[in-house]
Amino acid sequence: MTKLYLVRHGETMDNAAQIMQGQTPGRLNDVGIQQAEEVARKMANDHIDVFVSSDLYRSMQTCAIIARPHLEAGMHLKGTADASAFLTEDDILQRIETTPLIRERDWGDFTGKFIPSLPKDPKDWPDNVETLERMKSRAQNFLTWLKVAYPDKTILAVGHGIINKAIQSVYYKRPMNQIEKMANAEVRVLIL
C-alpha cells in the first residue's frame, strides 16, 4: 500500500495580497514559513520515505521546511553527521523529487492579477486558462507515477490549492466542486 500525505504549500506574499499566482514561483511569507514549520513539528515522528514537490518554489520551500527534521535525523542515525551539523536549503532541495505534474493551474492572462477583480463566470475567462480536464489529466498522471515509482512507500507531496483539489477529485472519483478547498499547509492522507 502506498500512502500519500498531500500538502498545500504555506501562505505566500501573493496569497496574502490576493494576487493570482498561477505558475509563478512564489515565496512563502512569515506566516507561510510558520505554517510549514508547524507541519514539520507535527509530522517529525511520522515515517516518510520520499518527499515530492511541485517544481514551483513556494511548494519546494514548504517541502524543504517539512523535510528538514526527517533528513537531518536520518543523517544522525546513520552516523554521517555530528550533532552540530545541519543541512542548507539547497542540500534539502537536492533530496526532494520535483515534478511539473503538480504545478498550480495555469491561469493564463489572470496570472498576476488581483483576484477580487477577476470575473467569476468561466465563460468570461481568457482562452489561455488551463482547463479542469487538463488539470485532472495531470492529477491522474501524478497518482499513476507515484504508484509505479514508489510502490508501498510513504510519500509527502507538496502541491497547490487547485491541483490538490484535482488530485482528490480523481482519487475519490468526485467532481472538483465536491472537494473541500485545502487551507495553506493543510495535510490530507490518501491511500493509493
Is residue 9 annotated as a catalytic residue, yes or no? yes
H-state helical runs in the chain: 13-17, 30-42, 57-77, 89-93, 132-149, 161-172
Q: Has 104 been annotated as catalytic? A: yes
β-pair partners for 159: 8
Which of 9, 70, 130, 160 is an active site residue? 9
| Residue 8 known to bind ligand | yes
Q: What is the DSSP annotation of 5-58?
A: EEEEPPPBHHHHHTB--TTS---B-HHHHHHHHHHHHHTTTS--SEEEEESSHH
Q: How far is the C-alpha of 57 from the C-alpha of 66, rounded, in Å?
A: 14
24 labelled binding-site residue: no
Q: From the candidates 70, 104, 130, 160, give the one annotated as an active-site residue.
A: 104
Bridge pairing between strands 3-8 and 50-54: unpaired
103 is known to lie in a ligand binding site = no
90 marked as binding residue: no
Amino acid found at 77: L
Is 134 marked as binding a ligand?
no
Cα separation, 18 vs 55, in Å, equals 22
10 marked as binding residue: yes
Question: Is 58 part of any known ligand binding site?
Answer: yes
**Is 14 one of the annotated binding-site residues?**
yes
Annotated binding-site positions for substrate: 8-15, 58
Residues classed as catalytic: 9, 104
Q: Which residues are annotated as a binding site?
A: 8-15, 58
